[in-house]
Structure 1
Amino acid sequence: MPRWNPAHIALRATAGAFVLNTGIGKWSGDEKQAAGVHGMARGTYPFLDAVAPQPFLKGLAAGEIALGAALLAPFVPAAVAGAGLTGFAASLLGLYLRTPGMHTKLRPTQQGTAIAKDVWLLGMGAALLADGLRKKN
């Protein structure tokens, strides 16, 4: 079992609780929420056209719940939790960068601020991943 690094507690607890909470909130989402989330995602990632909104929302919720739990679980290595968080945050930032009206140059518009803040998740994930990989060498 990996040793829990006290320096990771703040990163893992805050990101894990946040992501877990958003996943739980999406789990019982209605058709309107599913259509909204799916519409925004498919605008950025066209391959999602092949997935119906409700199953997409359930899958996203399950992924967020799993990622949040992995971040909170001390037995999940930092590199694994960090890789998951980095990938998730990168996909959210892809949404931010590819959705018209979310930013001017790189600065967020009022509409884009809610997603632009996910850059913090990317930084947290990258820190966990880098530290986890560094300790393996």
Structure 2
Amino acid sequence: MLQTIDSCRFVRALATGELVLGAAMLSPVVPAALAGTGLTAFSAGLLGLYLRTPGMHKEGSLHPTEQGLSIAKDVWLFGIGLAFVIGDLTDREDAE
């Protein structure tokens, strides 16, 4: 799917997405659940890329190779996004 996209364009789009998500998470007007959903979706896409790209992880394992280490760490982003969503939803329930 990404073979048809110019690599410079892809990197710019990825960087823009990261900046928008960072601004959303820091903005007090964006609900934490919404920012967390965006972060979870973004990191899920990066983890999917990690799993589908040859050479990113060892054969038959999820352990990253040296090339895959920079993307494998994005599992933390996934966890942080879920924590934002769960935290905001439980805070709303407690307030009611």
User: What TM-score comes out, normalization by structure 1 length?
Assistant: 0.59
Q: Which residue of 1 aligns with 2:88?
A: 132
Identity of aligned residues (%): 56
Q: Distance in 2 between matches of 1:100 and 1:49?
A: 14
Question: Any idea what SS the aligned residue of 2:67 has?
Answer: coil
User: Which residue identity is paired with 2:62?
Assistant: L
Q: Which amino acid aligns with 1:80?
A: L
The 1-side partners of 2:6 and 2:69 are apart by 27
Aligned to 2:45: 91
- The residue aligned with 1:113 is 69
Give the 3-state SS of the residue equivalent to 1:111 in structure 2: coil
Structure 2 residues not aligned, in runs of 5+: none
User: Partner of 2:31 in structure 1?
Assistant: 77
User: Could you say which structure has the higher helix fraction?
Assistant: 1
Shift of 1:130: 1.1
Q: Which runs of 5+ in 1 are unaligned?
A: 1-45
Partner of 1:55: 9
TM superposition shift of 1:50:
4.4
- What is the count of residue pairs matched by the alignment? 91
Task: Give the match's secondary structure for 1:109.
Answer: coil
**Pairwise CA distance, 1:62:** 1.8
Measured against aligned partners, the alpha-carbon deviations of 1:94-133 in whole angstroms (never above 9, x if no partner) come to 1111111111201111211111111111110110011112
The one-letter code of the counterpart of 1:79 is A
The CA RMSD over aligned residues, in Å, is 1.7
In the alignment, the residues of structure 1 paired with residue 6 and residue 67 of structure 2 have an alpha-carbon distance, to the nearest angstrom, of: 25
State the match for 2:78 in structure 1.
122
